Every structure is written in C-alpha cells, then in structure tokens.
Amino acid sequence: MITMDDIVREGHPALREVAKEVSFPLVAEDIELGEKMTEFLKNSQDPELAEKYGLRGGVGLAAPQLAISKRIIAIEIPSMEEDSDEPFLSTVMYNPKILSHSVQQAAIEEGEGCLSVDRHVPGLVVRNAKVTISYFDKDGESHKIRLRNYAAIVVQHEIDHINGVMFYDHIDKTNPNYAPDDVLLLS
C-alpha cells in the first residue's frame, strides 16, 4: 500500500516535470497504480487507518507525487452529507484535460495545502470556479464532466501536478491574500 514514504516532497524533480500521457490499452502497472492511489486516499480519510499508518488526509493525488511522471490523477471527494456512504467524486483520471472553464474564479478561503509540501504556505490560490474536464478511465473509455467549486479546485490542483505546477505558484508574491474583487471564496 502507498504510505507517506512513497510521496515525494518539494525539491524532487518529478514535481516540476510535465508528465507524459499514457497510451491505451493501459499496461497492468498503470491500472494497478490508479487503484493504489485510490486506496491511499480512502485510507487517508479513515481516522483509524490514517492514524495507524501516519497518513495525511488527502482528497486527490497525482502520479508525479509518487515520482511517476505520467498523466494519472486520483480524486476521492467524500459526499457532503455525513450519512451518505457514496462519495461525491471518486475516480482515477488518465490523461485528464481542461477543455474549458468559467471566467468566474474561486479560491478556498483558508488556502491550499499539498501532501508534497511539509509546510504551511499561506495565501489565496485563485482558480477557475467551473471547469469542463475530459479524461479516460482505466478501460480507455472517454469521459467529459463539468465540475464546480470545491471539486473543480481539487481537480485543478491535481492537473497542476501533472504539469509541474505547485499550488503556491498561484499565490500573489507581493500580497498573498490578494483576492480579485469577484472571486468566489469557498469555506
């Protein structure tokens, strides 16, 4: 299983590379990788397992964070309702792509973090509020989905990783808390 020891930290070259597309049909290794990334995210969101294995909670993970320079991301966003055991978004995206996005921008009010960054980097990470994403699933089926708000933020954070971009690259150097006047602040 993937643990924090497998996640590379800032300074590792893989985090600054543009990852390569995967080709279809996928090799077994890339299908298994996606499954292990999802397993990590689920474990990281389970208080007992997270504690037992010392996992930091995550809702997304990108292959470059495992020093694998491939365009593979896993998303595991729990549903907002406590009782529902269906996640809001649970998927492994191969060759994800932002097809289009809103003019409207959004940011998480308390900023972002990253499993590959062992420090708090304050500041607003302004992103597109809505995105239309295309991706392939493990069976090579093509998908096109529209995401907004928190889910859109998470997927953009992960797609940044496969392009060698870190969340703090988006923070305004001179005024980290700069918020464009019509940015949607998500709490």
Ligand X SMILES: OCN(O)CCCc1ccccc1
Catalytic positions, written as ranges: 158
Q: Which of residues 115-154 bind Ni ion (CB under 5 A)?
A: none
Nearer to ligand X, 8 or 31 (CB): 8
- Min CB(113)–ligand X separation in Å: 5
| CB contact at 8 A, 154 and 60 | yes
Q: What is the maximum span of the chain, computed from C-alpha positions, in angstroms?
A: 47
Shortest CB 127 distance to ligand X, Å: 9
How far is residue 141's CA from residue 1's CA, in Å, rounded to a whole number?
A: 26
Verify binding: residue 59, Ni ion, rule CB under 5 A. Answer: no
Nearer to Ni ion, 26 or 92 (CB): 92
Q: What share of the chain is helix, strand, coil (3-state, %, to 5)?
A: 30, 25, 45
- Residue number with the shortest CB distance to Ni ion? 114
Considering the complex, state which of residue 24 and residue 90 has its C-beta at the smaller distance from ligand X. 90
114 contacts Ni ion (rule: CB under 5 A): yes
The contact set with ligand X (CB under 6 A) reads: 58-62, 65, 108, 112-116, 153-154, 157-158, 161
CB atoms within 10 A of CB 22: 20
The alpha-carbon radius of gyration of the chain (Å, integer) is 16
Q: What is the DSSP string of 117-174?
A: --S---S---EESEEEEEEE-TT--EEEEEEEHHHHHHHHHHHHHHTT--GGGGS-SS
51 membership: H or E segment, kind and range = helix 47-53
Contact letters (x/-) for Ni ion, 34-53, by CB under 5 A? --------------------
Minimum gap (Å) between residue 4 Cβ and ligand X: 11
| 129 contact choice in Ni ion, ligand X, none (CB below 5 to 8 Å, kind-dependent) | none
What minimum distance in Å lies between the beta carbon of 122 and ligand X?
13
101 annotated to bind ligand: no
Query: Measured between alpha carbons, how far is 83 from 77 in angstroms, rounded to an integer?
Result: 15
List binding-site positions for Fe cation.
114, 157, 161
Task: Give me the residues that bind Ni ion (CB under 5 A), please.
Answer: 114
